[in-house]
């Protein structure tokens, strides 16, 4: 007899922040490109495709686990609902596999959303992708949304007809790491794609009827190319008009190849204040006829309130930046530390809690007393804890 609590299926290491409550299923392993200088996620890992039958077996396993959890709920007198008592029982008992626990949490959150991992799933043959998606929709007919990551270069190789077939089979949204719309920046960081390809891929996703989420990376142009990076990225997005523009500011992990260029001085990071100035220029350059929603839901972003629907909320976003830039330098430093330490999520928070403000102010004085560059080093170290 099968012990359902031991059942497991494969999951990859990452997902976008807004997919934290989605069911995660691994469709390919790692990244077929794996060369972007700023990225350390899959650097030691080899890309591989997974066979359609293997993936369908994982989907079936996820289904069996979900059914078993519902049966457990009935047995515990919870009428099939995934309540706190069901969750604590499953999470506190190590006899339940990680997959079992992750399906239980997904049912508990009740999002009905599913994210297909890893980095570039449009690399799968269209016929196989369609087969996998149809099977997923058949086994989980109540899914509200199915999404995946992919690279612009890979998406642009599919025909519009193929993209429509994939949409028809059940894929709703594609997350693309656009990062920059500036060709020299894209070349420098080895993104393996040009601005034109980004536009072509983005338009194709939209024309197929899928929703498009484009990630951009403030700071990626460094001190040498920040202006071109801001202006060209906005220019490319003006031509795509994606549903979502998501900000994910650059941090450079030690294992990312860009770190060596940072050490050698070939790449110079912007300070937090300079990144804010770059984002201001970027938002100012976005056309008033695009209708994307901007989000700043990544922990690496200093100002998570830069969010809103274009064009009507553009002024609000610029106002968030102005409020930050109008702060005295000493308060901007306090905010940076409070934000990186998890105490603040808005510049408004600065003056809500005098005790926290005073504590950080004292800390700033102590760190600054050690030397002229110490406070910047300290802030960078705090920000890097998230990479």
Residues that bind ligand SF4 (CB under 6 A): 31, 33-36, 39, 41-42, 119, 151, 177
Residues 6+ apart with CB under 8 A from 247: 215, 216, 218, 279, 294, 295, 296, 298, 301, 306
State the sign of the Cα–Cα–Cα–Cα dihedral 58, 169, 34, 222: negative
Contact (Cβ atoms closer than 8 angstroms) between residue 163 and residue 207: yes
Contact (Cβ atoms closer than 8 angstroms) between residue 117 and residue 25: yes
Minimum CB distance to ligand SF4, residue 190 (Å): 8
3-state secondary structure 64-108: HHHHHHHHHHHHCCCCCCCCHHHHHHHHCCCCCCHHHHHHHHHHH
Minimum CB distance to ligand SF4, residue 28 (Å): 11
Question: 1 to each of 4, 5, 6, 59, how far by Cα in Å?
Answer: 9, 12, 12, 20
Minimum CB distance to ligand SF4, residue 321 (Å): 26
Minimum CB distance to ligand SF4, residue 350 (Å): 34
Nearer to ligand SF4, 82 or 258 (CB): 258
Nearer to ligand SF4, 62 or 258 (CB): 258
Minimum CB distance to ligand SF4, residue 11 (Å): 16
Nearer to ligand SF4, 42 or 122 (CB): 42
Question: 386 to each of 15, 185, 260, 270, 352, how far by Cα in Å?
Answer: 15, 24, 19, 17, 25
Nearer to ligand SF4, 12 or 170 (CB): 12
Nearer to ligand SF4, 101 or 180 (CB): 180
Nearer to ligand SF4, 42 or 129 (CB): 42
Q: Are strands 173-179 and 211-216 parallel, antiparallel or unpaired?
A: parallel
Nearer to ligand SF4, 233 or 347 (CB): 233
What residue has token string 């077929």? 32
Question: 352 to each of 294, 319, 322, how far by Cα in Å?
Answer: 27, 20, 19
Minimum CB distance to ligand SF4, residue 249 (Å): 14
Token pair of 188 as six digits:
């420098």
Minimum CB distance to ligand SF4, residue 13 (Å): 10
């Amino acid at each position: 007899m099968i012990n359902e609590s031991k059942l497991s299926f494969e999951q990859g290491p990452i997902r976008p922040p807004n997919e934290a409550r989605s069911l995660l299923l691994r469709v390919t392993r790692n990244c077929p490109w794996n060369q972007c200088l700023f990225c350390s996620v899959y650097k030691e890992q080899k890309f591989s495709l997974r066979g359609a039958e293997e993936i369908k077996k994982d989907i079936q396993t996820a289904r069996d686990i979900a059914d078993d959890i519902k049966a457990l709920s009935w047995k515990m007198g919870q009428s099939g609902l995934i309540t706190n008592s069901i969750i604590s029982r499953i999470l506190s008992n190590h006899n339940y596999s990680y997959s079992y626990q992750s399906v239980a949490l997904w049912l508990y959150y009740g999002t009905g959303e599913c994210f297909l991992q890893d980095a570039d799933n449009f690399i799968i043959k269209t016929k196989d992708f369609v087969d996998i998606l149809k099977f997923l929709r058949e086994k989980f007919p109540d899914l509200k949304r199915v999404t995946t990551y992919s690279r612009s270069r890979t998406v642009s190789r599919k025909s519009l007809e193929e993209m429509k077939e994939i949409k028809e089979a059940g894929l709703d949204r594609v997350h693309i790491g656009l990062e920059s719309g500036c060709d020299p920046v894209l070349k420098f960081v080895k993104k393996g794609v040009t601005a034109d390809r980004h536009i072509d891929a983005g338009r194709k996703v939209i024309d197929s009827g899928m929703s498009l989420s484009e990630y951009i990376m403030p700071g990626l142009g460094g001190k040498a190319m920040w202006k071109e990076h801001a202006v060209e990225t906005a220019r490319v997005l003006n031509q795509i008009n994606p549903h979502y523009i998501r900000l994910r500011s650059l941090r450079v992990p030690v294992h990312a190849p860009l770190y060596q260029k940072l050490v050698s001085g070939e790449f110079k990071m912007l300070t937090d204040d300079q990144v804010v100035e770059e984002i201001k220029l970027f938002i100012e350059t976005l056309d008033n006829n695009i209708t994307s929603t901007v989000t700043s839901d990544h922990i690496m972003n200093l100002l998570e309130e830069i969010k809103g629907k274009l064009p009507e909320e553009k002024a609000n976003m610029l106002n968030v930046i102005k409020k930050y830039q109008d702060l005295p330098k000493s308060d901007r430093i306090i905010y940076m530390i409070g934000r990186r330490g998890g105490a603040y999520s808005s510049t408004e928070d600065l003056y809500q809690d005098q005790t926290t403000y005073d504590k950080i102010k004292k800390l700033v004085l102590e760190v600054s007393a050690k030397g002229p560059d110490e406070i910047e080093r300290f802030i960078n170290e705090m920000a890097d804890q998230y990479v």
